[in-house]
Structures are given as structure tokens and as C-alpha cells.
Amino acid sequence: MPLFRPTPLLKMATSTGGKILEGVFGINKPIGISSAQVIRDCQNFFDPSARFAPALEQVREQRDKESKYQRNRRRRFPNKVQTKIGHGGTLDPLAGGVLILGVGKGTKSLQQFLLCTKTYETVVVFGASTDTYDRLGKIIKKGDYSNVTRDAVQKGLEPFRGKYRQMPPLYSSLKMNGKPLYEYAREGKPIPREIETREVEVSELELVEWYEPGTHKHYWPDEEAGQAEKDVAQSVWRVAKAQEDGGEESAAKMAAEEESKALEEFNSKKRAAEEAVDGLVSDETRASKRAKNEEGNPEDTLMSGALEVKKEKLTQPPKGRGSDLVPVRPDDMPAPWEGKGPPAAKIRMTVTSGFYVRSLCHDLGEKLGCGAMMAELVRTRQGQFTLGGANCLEYDDLLRGEEVWGPQVESMLDKWNARPGEIQEPTVENGGIKVESETVPAREEEPVAASG
């Protein structure tokens, strides 16, 4: 039974008349910007548009009727009127692909998408592990990848199919005793108790492409973690392994031992770690200056993550605090290894809510004994929203002007309102793909970002 009865969102509601555009659509988020920045970019394009003028007029009329108390709650921007937009599940800056956006009252439907299944494609590069489990972190350890083959990876994926309990990344947003896990690592402190695992389910897990050494450009990061950070990360991983192998009692005993060991090592190596960090900062500064000197004309480049094939005039949104969050590796920068380097693999998976793709990449590397990290991530589907589908807007179309994005967004919102509130999950039937509709209950513990 649905928690609420959906009603059509498009209506004539302003004193001046006009169709109010509200509903849900998908957008192909580029790599390199935050999900919140995508919302701000959409607002920059939607707010001046005549298509969204009736919705903004409705907001103004509602505010005219507000009490003094309600107006005071917006004291920071009392007169700012924006298109209300939220997202139905964030994507990290390193990830691209389907980002579901709700407009106006469509934001009320977004929590339903937090529980639907999602399909991802990720590139895993072997031979090293990082503190963040991806290529944007610092290297914690390196391993021998000479025996990593396609067949070995295929076999290594087997334990991750179906239902199992997954350990979240150390640098995830999860908290322990009110404090994010990554803060313990940053401060060189041990985790105060065992990390809670989550039950997840992987209904599809397929190795879709294999990259032999020397045939790809997926690199490890150049920066290594300080010794204190390495000690804490290693201790957490050992406790995690004890949880998996020996249960809670074994993990608790090891956690106490690791706490004592970590504190001792941290105090003894703190000075050396700080010196190492100072050196890394100096190297980073020199690399940053070198990259800046090698930059071309900024007018010839597109926004991070955008296509760079067509030379056409594109309207760039203002750069925000969520823009350009993923550094671009210079082409002439030497590889962080000798010889051809490690192999890599592209893996496709369909997973339930709460699944960490980065954890899968890291855990696969641990299973193979060589270490691994996530190099790329694309969400190709969430619910019935599919990358390249009729209900998913290309981000670059925003830059091409309202004559391009306007009819598409209006059509997508119209289609949503024809069947509001439904989440369609793909299922396999008779060797083909069938789309079934279901109403998924809201999940309160995962916040949905909304702006406006």
C-alpha cells in the first residue's frame, strides 16, 4: 500500500495563469562536480526561464501571505526566490551518471528513490589501496599484482554476489559516537568500537571489460598517506577482517590490542608523519604551479566532465563551491609505477540501497591480495531512470540553451506526472528485460537534499 496517494503536479495556480512545471526527471551528472552543484546549475538556468516563471510567481504569492515568523526564518535571503529542486540520492564528485532531480512538489517523491535498486559501472585498478578506497585518496599500501589475471578477478568476484554484509569505507559519512569515521583517521585515533556492517544485495555482478597492463590510463594517486594515517587504516582493516572471520568477540579483543598499538605507534611516529606531510604539501604546490602553467585557453575547455568534441558556443553556469572537485592529471605526468603498471577492470553491478561501490573495489583487492581502488564510477540506472533514456537529460544540453533543454525538461516532467509516485524496477523475464512498477516506502534515515 502506498504511503500517500499521488496527485498530478501540473496545474494552473497563479493569479497570472500558466502551467506550473513540477515533477521528477533525471540528469547525467558530469564527473568533477557535486550533486548540490548540479542543483545550483539547474537553478541558474531554470530561474530566468519563462517556463518556470509561473512556479516562481506562485512562490512569491505564497510568501506574501506568510507570517512575520515565517519570513524571519529566511532572514539570510529574505527576498530570494528560486526554483525548488532536490535530488533523490547523491553522487560523489568522482562519480557521474544518473542523478534524479525533483522540481517543486516533485521533491516530495524523492525519498522513494532511496530504496530502489541502482546499476553502476566502475573501473577498478589493482596494485594499491587508498584511505578513501578510490583514486582521490592517499596510498596506504601497495601489493604485487603480477598474478592478477582476468580469470583471477572473475573468481574473486564470486563471494560478492547475492546477499552479504558489507563494511563501509573508513572515510564514509557514517558516524560512530557522533563522530565521522574519517575524523578518527585524520586525528590518528583508533576506532572506539567495531564498525557496523550493512546487509546488501548484489543481483548482477559482471566483469564487462579487461584492461591489460599498459593498455589503460587509470592511475593510482601520487600521494602516500603519512605513517600515522597508515597505522590507523591498517588497524581498522585488521579489526574488520577479524569481525568477518572470528565474530564479535574476536574483533573486540583485537580492537583493544590495535588501540594500544595504534596509540603507541602514533605518538612515536607523529613527528616523522608531519615532516612527510610537509614534503607532500611542497610537492603538491609545485605540481599545482606546473599544471597551471601548462593550462591552455580556458575558453577552449568545457566544464569538468563535459564532452569536448564539438566546438560550439556553450553557456557556462557560474563556478560554484561544488565545481572542479576532481583534479585532472596532466598528460605528461609520469606514471606512479615502473614498467607497464597494473591491470584494471570495468565491472557492472546492480545493487540495493546503501551499497558502497568503493568498498567492493577495495574488498576485491584484499581478496586478491594485491590491493585495489575505484578509478571511475558511473550510475547507469536508478529505478526507471536510465542513462541515455528519454527521462534523463544530458548535462551538456543545459549549456546549449533553453531551446535545447527547455522542451526536454517539460516533456520529462509531463511524463512523470502521467504516472506520479511510481518507481519502475527492471526485472528479467523470459530472457528479456521487463519493467515493473511498484511504490516504494520512504526511508527516513537518509536525507534528501533540496534547495530553493
Active site residues: 92
Q: How far apart are CA 347 and CA 256, in angstroms?
A: 37
How many Cβ atoms are within 10 Å of 105's Cβ, its own excluded?
16
Q: How far apart are CA 3 and CA 437, in angstroms?
A: 15
Q: How far apart are CA 418 and CA 104, in angstroms?
A: 16
Start-to-end C-alpha separation, the chain = 31
Helices (H), 307-430: 357-368, 395-399, 402-418
Q: Fill in the amino acid letter for 335.
A: A
**Contact (CB, 8 A) for 150 and 379:** no
DSSP 8-state symbol, 299:
G
CA 432 to chain centre: 29
Q: Which three cell numbers stand for residue 7?
A: 496527485
**Contact (CB, 8 A) for 396 and 307:** yes
**Could you tell me the sign of the dihedral formed by the alpha carbons of 370, 374, 379, 380, in that order?**
negative
Q: Which three cell numbers stand for residue 88?
A: 533523490
Q: How far apart are CA 122 and CA 133, in angstroms?
A: 13
Q: How far apart are CA 47 and CA 442, in angstroms?
A: 29
| One-letter-per-residue 3-state SS of 42-53 | HHHHHCCCHHHH
**Contact (CB, 8 A) for 52 and 83:** yes
Dihedrals phi, psi of 173, to nearest 5 degrees: -85, 0
How many Cβ atoms are within 10 Å of 268's Cβ, its own excluded?
12
